[in-house]
Structure 1
Amino acid sequence: MICPHCQRDLKRKERSDYRCYYCRRQFALEPKEGDIVMHDVRVRKLADKLSDGGRLRYTLPQLWYAAARGRLRDPVDTAGVIGCTVVGLSVFVQLPIAVISSFDWGLILSAVLIMVGVWIVTYLVLKFALVPWCKRNGKVPMPEELEKFRSRVRRWEVVYREPPPRMADETNLVVPEIAEPRVAIVVPDRAVLACLAASGVPGEHEAALVGSLAHVPPGVPVIVLHDASPQGIRLACEARAAFGARTVTPGLRPNAVMGQEKAIKLRERRPTGAEMRSLRDLRPGLTEDELTWLGNGWYTPLASVPPAKLLAALTRAITRATSGPGAETATAERVGFLTWPGA
């Protein structure tokens, strides 16, 4: 890793006890300690991107997702591990037979044929059974649990006496109250709610930031930000049912992330049959590709969207919600709901 102070490239033995061998100054993060590679220089680069050059604030869960982008496990990797294990065991079992019977060409040939047979069967099982099963069912969690990641990042405050640049504390959330809001923004994700509050959204847009539909103030346009998940899509539908035409839902729709290589796409469990039937009954509905994606257990959390893109989409939604039934609004309504411009 690179020393954040003297910029020397440090080997593991040159950075013991969180201290640079050359300049003797402490650093906060050791990249070999966690499942997500993190060091001080990378934190600063991610902080600059998340804050859009210091303009916005972000939260630790948003840093967590940004640090894991491009580093999620491929579900097919499980099949590869199983296949390598089987092939390795076959060699381990058969090789001693070949060595012990080095003068018995019949036994040697039998051992070789058995190994080749095992390899062929393993390949066929992997290709036609295990790999397809893993693609449909293999879990894709975050590489490292949030609380473990949080405990590592806490060392930053120990070393530098402050949080990473521009990071807001979502565990100590304070949302400014707006006496007469002109719009309500519903954000069930606490990390995103804290990001918007710390970035000045309530004051800039005279917006009431709330965590649920139950806390929406009366008589104002309602904007719902949500995950690309069955729960998020239902929330958008519930908002439309409750608040009607004054609802705008610029949250994540599955087709906004399905083909995005850099998007955080996770899978923990597949929805039940009842859950999928309820998704099919939603109006306006999802495409078959979106239903298949959700049915296979995929979802994308709202907190994984970079704050700059989040704010850009939110600003457009506020403009649409407060501008009245103009031509732009009518066109947007015809296109559909749960779109995420620019994501």
Structure 2
Amino acid sequence: MICPSCAARLLARERAGRVCARCRKPFALEPKLDKGLHDLRLRRTVERLGDGGRVVLTVEQLRWAFHDRRPPGRVPRKDPPARPNPPRFDHPVAIAVNAATGAAALAGACYLATLAIGLLVFCLPLAALGVMMLRGAASELARWTRRSGLRSAHEQAERAWRERKDRLRQEEARWTSPLSHGNTWSAGEFRISVVERWIAVHGALPEGVVAESAVRMAALDGPPALAVLCPDWTVTAFLHANGFPARYRAVLVATPGELPRHLPVVVLHDASPNGCLLAAEARAARPDSTVVDAGVSARTVLAAGARAVQLYEHQLRAPLREQLRRLPALTEGERAWFGRGMWSPLAAQPPQRVLAVAERAADRALNRHVGFLTWPVPEVPQ
């Protein structure tokens, strides 16, 4: 790791307690404890995502920049635990042989004991072996007499196990195939381990980063000229932080019912079935208005591949299929991707691209050009 203060290369033993052993200055992030994240990497990421300071990004957008880009892997299905083992019974001939051998060993031990006291060292092990074989034969004989009942109990347990297995299979068939995510920062982990620690060491957030709660909505200069429908509060705060509503005299709302009448509409949404349906809902709610769909498409995420954030949501197949039927414009690849339960959040797109797409969509909506905007393929934050 490189010290953010003196630029010295530090070994693990030289940065104990998050303090540089060379310049004795503290740093906020320890790569071994913070999933490979350190102060210089965070600053470089902020500078690149903020386009050299020209774009202000939010804390949540910064968190998505460090999300694991590996696509979720398949979780193997498991059978119900504790499958009953079938009962095993010794043959009557084997039981008789064991009983006879045990009796012979016990009789031999008694005979040797009567010959000489010195032979007791051989008598005791032989007697113990005889007793063990007789006890085993008696136990197996008792199991043999109860064999029909034991087999019946095993058949019932096996039948119950198979019924439970079938129920689990049917239940799994109702849901999308379960997938697992790679390790990443949750919102709470990132706030506690990165944001709060950074503020404690450096006194404030990195330059060019703002918390969503600190963003204030500016008053418009004159009557609104544009409506932006965006259910993601992170992106809404991002647009306010970068002066988008003031430049375009735009009103930002979260649901189609909040859209003002007789204003052109820009729709920003995730790459998800609900997001793709949002533009249709906006057109149904305001049929007399121009609606430009500027949301992220599944085509963009699939084209980006491992460079895009791909998330998984466990959901019922039937309602998901019904949603996809209402999206006839999807390609087979997009339909299959959504059908697995996959989606990608708008907030995970590079901030400068979100702003550029929103501005292009606003220009098209104000000039009455209707259509869907093509998103550029996202880059991978380093």
TM tier, smaller:
0.7 to 0.9
Does structure 1 residue 266 correspond to structure 2 residue 308?
A: no
Out of 251, 254, 273, the position equivalent to 1:230 is 273
CA distance, structure 2, for counterparts of residue 42 and residue 313 of structure 1: 27
Residues 214 and 318 (structure 1 numbering): CA distance in 2 closer, same or farther, change over 3 Å? Answer: same
Distance in 2, matches of 1:74 and 1:249, equals: 28
1:246, CA displacement in angstroms? 1.1
Tell me the equivalent position of 1:318. Answer: 362
**C-alpha distance in 1, partners of 2:190/2:63?**
7
194-203 vs 177-186, which deviates more? 177-186
Structure-to-structure mapping, 1:250-289, within 5 angstroms: 250-260=294-304, 261-282=306-327, 285-289=329-333
Structure 1 match to 2:19: 19
CA shift digits 1:128-177 (9 cap, x unpaired):
xxxxx9x9532226612111011122111111111112111113342223
Per-residue CA deviations over 1:65-117 (Å, capped at 9, x if unaligned) read: 111254x36516x67xx9xxxxxxxxxxxxxxxxxxxxxxxxxxxxxxxxxxx
The structure having more radius of gyration, on CA atoms, is 2
In the alignment, is residue 241 of structure 1 matched against residue 276 of structure 2?
A: no
1:162 aligns with 2:204: yes
Show the counterpart of 2:32: 32
Q: Does 1:177 align with 2:212?
A: no
In structure 1, what is the Cα distance between the partners aligned to 2:178 and 2:295? 26
Report Cα offsets for 1:291-323 as digits up to 9, x if no partner. 110010111100011111111111111111011
8 Å contact kept, 2:57–2:209: yes
Contact 2:68–2:182, Cα closer than 8 Å, also in 1: no
The one-character-per-residue Cα deviations of 1:15-55 (angstroms, maximum 9, x if unpaired) are 11111011000111112223x42110011001101211000
Aligned to 1:138: 179
Deviation at 1:223, TM superposition (A): 0.5
- Aligned AA (2:178): N
Structure 2 partner of 1:125 = none
Counterpart residue identity of residue 169, structure 1: A
CA contact (8 A) 1:271 1:296 kept: no
Check whether the contact 1:270–1:296 (CA below 8 A) recurs between aligned residues.
no
1:48 aligns with 2:24: no
1:60 aligned partner: 59
Q: Which amino acid aligns with 2:263?
A: V
Give the Cα–Cα distance (whole angstroms) in 1 for the partners of residues 361 and 67 of structure 2: 28
State the partner residue of 2:340: 296
Q: What secondary structure sits across from 1:257 in the alignment?
A: helix
Deviation by residue 1:189-231 (Cα, 9 ceiling, x = unmatched): 1111111100110111211122222332222111110000122
CA contact (8 A) 2:273 2:323 kept: no
User: Residue 341 of structure 1: CA displacement?
Assistant: 4.7
Whichever residue aligns with residue 280 of structure 1, its letter is: R
The whole-number CA distance in structure 2 between the counterparts of 1:267 and 1:232 is 15
1:26 is paired with a residue of what secondary structure?
A: coil
Runs of at least 4 residues of structure 1 off by over 4 A?
A: none
Contact kept, 8 Å, 1:29 with 1:38, in 2: the verdict is yes
1:149 is aligned, of 190, 203, 210, to: 190
Indicate if the aligned counterparts of 2:227 and 2:263 stay in contact, CA closer than 8 A.
Answer: yes
TM-superposed deviation, 1:272: 2.5
Aligned-pair CA distance for 1:285: 2.8
Change (3 A) 1:237 1:338: farther
**Comparing both chains, which one has the higher relative contact order based on Cα–Cα distances under 8 Å and sequence gaps of 6 or more?**
2
Q: TM-score, normalised by structure 2?
A: 0.67
User: How far, CA to CA, are the matches of 1:304 and 1:293 in structure 2?
Assistant: 18
SS in 1 for 2:245: helix
Q: CA RMSD in A?
A: 2.3
CA distance in 2, matches of 1:322, 1:271: 39
Q: Is this contact kept in 2: 1:141–1:267, CA < 8 A?
A: no
> By how many angstroms is 1:339 displaced?
4.0
Distance 2:354 2:8 in 1: 36
Q: How far apart are the structure 2 equivalents of 1:250 and 1:172?
A: 26
